[in-house]
Structure 1
């Protein structure tokens, strides 16, 4: 009779995500995941090739979560409002899972990188609203500008790097409104 399964790929990935959030990427090891799911480390290799593959799976599940969160943002009558809501959802996502959020923006080794198709799917709502605001010819540039601004702001916020006082929430709202206005094609 075959040995009963003691864990699943889903349990392994969820354990890896928890370790990433609680202890950081450096502590995300096959042994730590095995300990968390209650198996010996060699048993993990039945489902995950190596640590890079595990990191990739975590990044991909994170991108799927981000995709769901961004696709859940309803379209507003004014595309600038939709952009602001997307950026709020993006920020909320980063605050909910900061280590996984940073992992998505990390230049991991080739085998640890998420599938580019997942990146494109997660970016689709932003690309669409960027096309609505700046026009189809400048959608990619507008989406990249928006992502760079939001990621930079959020990264500084998560690193507690805003040291001049003031209201960080208000600053984010200010930036979103200005960015949405700047991207609007006057045509």
Structure 2
């Protein structure tokens, strides 16, 4: 059975994103989305099996958006400035789109190994791996990539919950980023000396 021509998956995702961004995750239900699109809820299920499937699709879309912003912002830059630019881009995305950012981190155990390798999350990971490998001198530098991403995500999470209090994080972000990058650069120098 063909899907109604007036409704596409992209239209559904566009409206879902608007609802999510403007009213938060609790407001995004299949019924509220159908009302916003002026269709019956059953029309949505032809494209997305459940609300969870829809949220995963929004998370993938957000991950791709952040991935593309990072690629564009860091293109053509030297290693250190590119990574610093990636930090700014990442934090701006997380601050500007907090609900979409939260969906990026939803676990999806249903992916096959092939789907996982081609997923938006893997693409985002590979971008960070590339940026960090350029600084540390190790193209497949999983350790530093995990440490760096953990720091960024932890910062975003603490900032979002207000854990820094009224004074804010002060220079903590810069101290942490500079310490991690400095450590990576030292690792690159040691690698050069040993070879």
Q: Same fold (TM over 0.5)?
A: yes
Unmatched 5+ stretches in structure 1: none
In 1, are the aligned partners of 2:133 and 2:139 still within 8 Å (CA)?
yes
Relative to structure 1, the CA distance from residue 91 to residue 3 in structure 2 (aligned partners, 3 Å threshold; closer, same or farther) is closer
Q: Distance in 1 between matches of 2:141 and 2:134?
A: 8
Structure 2 counterparts to residues 142-157 of structure 1, below 5 A? 142-157=144-159
Deviations for 1:92-140, whole angstroms, at most 9, x for unmatched residues?
11112111101112336748xxx53211111222101221222327611
In 1, are the aligned partners of 2:94 and 2:156 still within 8 Å (CA)?
yes
In 1, are the aligned partners of 2:70 and 2:86 still within 8 Å (CA)?
yes
The answer on 1:97 being equivalent to 2:97 is yes
1:172 paired residue number: 173
Deviations for 1:138-157, whole angstroms, at most 9, x for unmatched residues?
61111110000000001111
In 2, are the aligned partners of 1:15 and 1:33 still within 8 Å (CA)?
yes
1:106 paired residue number: 106
Q: Distance in 2 between matches of 1:91 and 1:61?
A: 17
**Structure 1-normalised TM-score?**
0.85
**Structure 2-normalised TM-score?**
0.82
SS in 2 for 1:136: coil
Relative to structure 1, the CA distance from residue 137 to residue 9 in structure 2 (aligned partners, 3 Å threshold; closer, same or farther) is closer
Q: Distance in 2 between matches of 1:4 and 1:167?
A: 50
User: How many pairs align?
Assistant: 181
In 2, are the aligned partners of 1:6 and 1:39 still within 8 Å (CA)?
no
Structure 2 counterparts to residues 63-74 of structure 1, below 5 A? 63-72=63-72, 73-74=74-75
Q: Distance in 2 between matches of 1:25 and 1:108?
A: 18
